Amino acid sequence: MTTRLGILGFGAIGQTVVKSLLSNDVGLDLIGFADQDLIEDAPIPQETVSSLIKSCDVIVESAGHAAVKEHAVPILESGTDLMIVSVGALADRSLEKKVLSAQPGQLIICTGALAGVDYLQAALNLGGIRKISLTSTKKPKVLIQSWMEEALRQKLERGDCKMTVFKGNARESAEAFPKSTNGAATIALAVGNWETVEVEVVADPEADQTKHVVEIVGDVGRSKFEVANLPSVSNPATSSILSLIHI
């Protein structure tokens, strides 16, 4: 039986997912998409979320934290499986508890632009992780946030120097950068602890690629791995590879 798939969110990621699925025969029945805005001339039908729940086996979320908060639990409780991209939404303790316990649908966490998540889980199972950190480096302008002081916002706008703009744990980084630190959230869920994951966000005007460096110390030994992805043309805050990980 062919799996029926729906897309929640038709922004840069959602559109790329749909385009890729329509261009490649991967054995999926693409039912349609839901979005808070009316999309004209879309290549597949625009549906309501309720309609997707009724007609899909799996829904892929690419609509942001607010969409996860509003729709994740109802989707899962309906029996429909849900893959979420906006993993940082689960930094909200209350939401995390509700989503992780929602049944009978299966929750699928998108690993995002990171690699080695299976390694992290294996390291945890081996006996424990004493230290784990993620350093993410991006272009300055994509890191500008409304909570920042004006002086910092102006520095990032000028983008003329390399600087650290954030240090904290995974939960804090997901709340501070809701559109660009889902990788930290993925690591936190993989190791089962948001506060243990140390996160540093670096703005670098010379960063032609979005770089993530993960370091881990534990019973597995000491490991360090790095990925450097080209940023998405339509959404520079995220990596170009992210939308293709769903497929």
Structure tokens given for 244: 């293709």
Cα 5 from Cα 244, distance rounded (Å): 15
Residues 168-206 have pLDDT tens digits of 999 999 999 988 888 899 999 999 999 999 999 999 999
pLDDT of res. 235 = 56
Selection from 98, 116, 120, 115 nearest residue 107 by Cα:
98
Give CA angle at 170 (90, 215), nearest 5°.
130
Burial category of 31 from C-beta neighbours within 10 Å (exposed 0-12, middle 13-18, buried 19 and up): buried
pLDDT for 125 equals 86
Say if residue 104 is preceded by a cis peptide, omega within 30 of 0.
Answer: yes
More confident residue, 28 or 128: 28
Per-residue pLDDT, 21: 87
Measured distance CA(93)–CA(167) in Å, rounded:
20
Angle at 3 between CA 38 and CA 183, to 5 degrees: 70
Query: What's the number of CA atoms in the CB half-sphere (13 Å) around residue 227?
Result: 18
Mean pLDDT over 117-126 rounds to 86
Give the pLDDT band (50/70/90) at residue 209: confident
Higher pLDDT, 225 or 150: 150
For residue 188, what are the contacts with CB-CB under 8 A and spacing of at least 6?
Answer: 91, 170, 171, 194, 196, 197
- How far is residue 105's CA from residue 72's CA, in Å, rounded to a whole number? 10
User: For residue 116, what pLDDT is reported?
Assistant: 78
pLDDT at 118: 86
Output the pTM of the full model: 0.86
Of 10-14, 155-159, 217-221, highest mean pLDDT = 155-159
Q: What is the mean pLDDT of the chain?
A: 90
Residue 237 has a pLDDT of: 54
Residue 247 has pLDDT above 60, yes or no: no
Predicted confidence band at 243 (pLDDT cuts at 50, 70, 90)?
Answer: very low
pLDDT score at 117: 84
The CA-atom distances, in angstroms, between 164 and each of 18, 99, 204 are: 36, 32, 9
Is the pLDDT at 53 greater than 90? The verdict is: yes
Percent of the chain topping pLDDT 70: 92
Cα→Cα distances 182→24, 84, 206, Å: 27, 10, 22
**pLDDT of 233 above 70:** no
